[in-house]
Amino acid sequence: MYEEQQRPDHGPLAGFTVGVTAARRADELGALLQRRGAAVLHAPALRIVPLADDGELLAATQQLIDRAPDVVVATTAIGFRGWIEAADGWGLGEPLLARLREVELLARGPKVKGAVRAAGLTEEWSPSSESLAEVLDRLLEEGVDGRRVAVQLHGEPLPGFVEALREGGAEVVGVPVYRWMPPEDIGPLDRLLDATVARGLDAVTFTSAPAAASLLSRAEERGLLTGLLAAFHHDVVPACVGPVTALPLQARGVDTVQPDRFRLGPLVQLLCQELPSRARSLPVAGHHMEIRGHAVLLDGELKPVPPAGMSLLRALSRRPGWVVPRADLLRALPGAGRDEHAVETAMARLRTALGAPKLIQTVVKRGYRLALDPATDAKYAGA
């Protein structure tokens, strides 16, 4: 495999550009990607309403203190901690904790259980799998008809969970911890959207369903939804931290990639496998060339290439060994107009960036071709 030949000073994501839409833990995700060689474009797709300013959360908290629920479901560790801290800030911390000690408290998984116990509480039950479906099954088996169930939300949709409880006869009270709103500065999100549509990104990461929904909504507002979906279908990898995060994209018919474990580390590791596997590898003029997003790995050495040069190289690689006419290459250059001299200029810069002029041959009065090695030329000529 070519990855085994790669120099150790280049990470597996060298030459790729990854978009990050996260509002929370974006620095952590960006650092993980950059550590593996990726260029990162960060554009928060939303912002979190500060808990201390959230009147809806305050009202829900007061309502639960005044009238006890039968069951409280804690769904995320950070959300549960944030709820308790916000209640402390409002002077409602002790009344809330006292109320939670009286009810059946369910924690979705070990991390949430840890947050519950750190607050001096004890959960009634918690699944080891972190599966909300298991929590729902337990509640429905117990029977929820006529019971009041409070569900701590965390800005994420809980597909089918609330609906199933209501169908079972429960009164459901949502506790809206960390609600999402559009970003105050929409500029970075627009730049990420433009770069995705123009195929200037190799992947876009999503760590929450609201972020995915926000990007789709902004694309629709700007008339770019069709272009965005086409990019995700063919060229740009939409990488989601888990199945709930992927729901808004899947509702638009977009297939996403997701790690087996719903964490940032496995998400980055998945991209480390996915993006290099999609790169075009060709034996050219005695060299091994791997065409990545904004660079070329030539015999394991990273060669950054200007955007116009990458456009030409991709056009040549789609017809390896064949002569590609200048007119076709001109069409591949964004904003080049009708001046074929733009092809020659971009080609000269491409050859300089690659540092190996013999990789691309000039065919007089016809165009250019990749100089495939003779042993493989026949294979690609018949493609």
Q: Report the CATH number at residue 247.
A: 3.40.50.10090
* Model pTM score: 0.75
39 and 72 part of one domain: no
Report the percent of the chain where pLDDT is more than 70: 93
104 and 252 part of one domain: no
For 83-112, what is the HEC assignment? HHHHHHHCCCHHHHHHHHHHCEEEECCHHH
Q: What is the pLDDT of residues 223-279, one digit of tens each?
A: 999 999 999 999 999 999 988 789 899 999 999 999 988 789 999 999 999 999 999
55 and 148 part of one domain: yes
How far is Cα of residue 247 from the mean position of the Cα atoms in its chain?
12
Q: Which residues, 6 or more positions from 287, have their beta carbon under 8 angstroms from its beta carbon?
A: 298, 299, 356, 359
The secondary structure of 206-227 as a DSSP string is ESSHHHHHHHHHHHHHTT-HHH
Chain mean pLDDT for the chain:
89
Q: 289-306 burial, b if ≥16 CB within 10 A, otherwise e?
A: bbbbbbbbbbebebbebe
Please name which of 162, 206, 188, 210 lies closest in space to residue 18, comparing C-alpha atoms. 206
Q: What is the pLDDT of residues 290-331, one digit of tens each?
A: 999 999 999 989 999 999 999 999 999 988 889 999 989 998
Q: What is the pLDDT of residue 269?
A: 97
Query: What is the average pLDDT across 34-62?
Result: 90
166 and 190 part of one domain: no
Q: 259-270 burial, b if ≥16 CB within 10 A, otherwise e?
A: beebebeebbbb
The secondary structure of 169-192 as a DSSP string is T-EEEEEE-S-EE--S--HHHHHH
141 and 256 part of one domain: no
Pairing of strands 17-20, 39-42: parallel
For residues 84 and 151, what is the distance between their CA atoms, to the nearest angstrom? Answer: 14
Total structural domains within the chain? 3
Say which CATH number the domain at 332 has: 1.10.10.10
